[in-house]
């Protein structure tokens, strides 16, 4: 692996060391180094191969529930076989280094929790949970029959993954907690997200409007890049450990 040589600005080191509240928004890029595909990248993103309208909308599920279920089943197995990477571990370690950390993720893969982060705000749900498509109650066991998707043991409606599709509302409490954190934090990190999907994409701007120092960690430019206070271009699995090392001489997170 090539390591990037990254100069962390002194102003950012000072801001992190004195921050009372750090908020972090993560996207698919934070799990890329775990082998989990992102969504929108031209060669490797999931949507270079699949049309989101065919798979990640309620209409798609109504039209072809078996295809949608199987796509999520494939991703569930892919994520179960993946391991948290140095970026997930750095964010878990950050919890111990700042007075208050709020970790907000758009990811549905559960890798932050597996790396040891607690109280993760999941804006787009979690792939491992299954709910009834009629009343959205979590279902933990069901009869294995020929039905794909399987059916709710209570009402026989189709089961679906507990994720937020386009056009669906985000979990209200999670979204409110994320907005509160963006408005309250001193430093806001946007890590591994293309920053196009609303309302998550508005969080860094909320933070900026409320006076936070906003940092983007991403090897590619996004719409946020020109607005961020600091931009750390590079893979999160290298940039975040370097950031912790620069601010706290934290040695423990190997890339």
Report d(CA 164, CA 106) in Å as an integer.
10
Would you give the binding string for ligand BJW spanning residues 213-232, x where CB under 6 A is met? Answer: ----xxxx-x----------
CB of 156 to ligand BJW, least distance (A): 25
Largest CA distance in the chain: 60
Which residue, 80 or 155, is less far from ligand BJW as judged by CB?
A: 80
Q: How far is CA 178 from CA 21, 24, 76, 98, 215, in A?
A: 13, 9, 25, 18, 16
Among 12, 23, 56, 92, binds ligand BJW (CB under 6 A): 56
Does 190 bind ligand BJW (CB under 6 A)? Our answer is: no
Does 198 bind ligand BJW (CB under 6 A)? Our answer is: yes
When CB distances to ligand BJW are compared, the closest residue is 29
CB of 57 to ligand BJW, least distance (A): 9
Q: Is the dihedral of CA 87, 89, 91, 93 positive or negative?
A: negative
Among 95, 197, 230, 233, binds ligand BJW (CB under 6 A): 197
Does 164 bind ligand BJW (CB under 6 A)? Our answer is: yes
Which residue, 100 or 205, is less far from ligand BJW as judged by CB?
A: 205
| Contact yes or no for 120/103 (Cβ under 8 A) | yes
Query: Catalytic residue numbers?
Result: 124
Name 231's bridge partners: 216
Does 241 bind ligand BJW (CB under 6 A)? Our answer is: no
58 burial type by CB count under 10 A (0-12 exposed, 13-18 middle, 19+ buried) = middle
**Contacts (Cβ under 8 Å, ≥6 apart) of 161:** 69, 72, 76, 108, 125, 127, 129, 130, 131
What residues between 80 and 139 interact with ligand BJW by CB under 6 A?
A: 106, 108, 124
Among 9, 13, 21, 40, binds ligand BJW (CB under 6 A): 40
Among 192, 204, 241, 255, binds ligand BJW (CB under 6 A): 192
* Three-class SS state of 189: strand
Q: Token pair for residue 88? A: 């997930």
Q: Which residues bind ligand BJW (CB under 6 A)?
A: 27-29, 32-33, 38-41, 45, 56, 106, 108, 124, 163-170, 192-194, 196-199, 217-220, 222, 235-237
């Amino acid at each position: 692996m090539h390591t990037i040589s990254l100069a962390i600005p002194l102003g950012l080191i000072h801001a992190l060391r004195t921050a009372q509240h750090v908020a972090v928004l993560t996207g698919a890029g934070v799990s890329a180094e775990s082998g989990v595909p992102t969504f929108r990248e031209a060669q490797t993103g999931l949507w270079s191969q699949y049309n989101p309208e065919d798979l990640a909308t309620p209409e798609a599920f109504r039209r072809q529930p078996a295809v949608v279920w199987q796509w999520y089943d494939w991703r569930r197995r892919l994520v179960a076989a993946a391991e948290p990477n140095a970026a997930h571990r750095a964010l878990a370690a950050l919890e111990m280094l700042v007075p208050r950390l709020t970790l907000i993720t758009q990811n549905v893969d559960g890798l932050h929790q597996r790396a040891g982060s607690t109280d993760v705000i999941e804006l787009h749900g979690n792939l491992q949970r299954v709910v009834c498509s009629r009343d959205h109650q979590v279902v933990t066991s069901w009869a294995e029959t020929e039905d794909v998707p399987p059916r709710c043991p209570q009402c026989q409606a189709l089961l679906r993954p507990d994720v937020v599709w386009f056009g669906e509302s985000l979990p209200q409490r999670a979204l409110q907690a994320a907005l509160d954190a963006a408005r309250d934090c001193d430093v806001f990190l946007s890590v591994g997200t293309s920053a196009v999907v609303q309302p998550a994409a508005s969080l860094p701007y909320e933070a900026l409007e409320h006076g936070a120092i906003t940092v983007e960690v991403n090897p590619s430019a996004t719409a946020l890049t020109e607005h961020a206070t600091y931009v750390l271009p590079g893979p999160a699995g290298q940039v975040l450990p370097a950031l912790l090392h620069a601010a706290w001489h934290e040695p423990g997170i190997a890339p």
